[in-house]
Amino acid sequence: MGDDILVIARAYNTIRRTGGLDYPAWQAAVEAYRGRHPEVSERAAGIEAGRLIADAATYIPKVIWDGVGTVPIKPYRPGVLIWE
């Protein structure tokens, strides 16, 4: 299950980098997750895909945002906006 985050991030990124919006990209991530875990319900797959997308955006932003826009380069600090 450790490499699920990469698979989901790449599925999400594939749609976003071609100009797709968040919802179709999330749907692609859900499909990718269900492809790896067919025993999981649609609802559970959607929840898990959303969690993995959020984790990817936090821990491996380069993978999820490559080709979509700029990747924040400043580390997060509480109370400080990264786009200052």
pLDDT of residue 76: 58
In a domain, 79, yes or no: no
In a domain, 16, yes or no: yes
CA 47 to centroid of chain Cα atoms: 12
In this structure, what token pair is assigned to residue 36? Answer: 């790896």
Q: Name the residue range of residue 22's domain.
A: 4-65
pLDDT digits (tens, 9 = 90+) for 5-62: 999 999 999 998 888 888 999 999 999 999 999 999 999 999 999 999 999 999 988 8
pLDDT of residue 13: 93
pLDDT of residue 84: 46
Give the chain's radius of gyration (CA, Å). Answer: 14
Q: Model-level pTM greater than 0.85? A: no
pLDDT of residue 68: 80
Closest CA relative to residue 33, chosen from 69, 66, 7, 63: 7
Task: State the total domains in the chain.
Answer: 1
Better-scored residue on pLDDT, 56 or 67: 56
In a domain, 72, yes or no: no
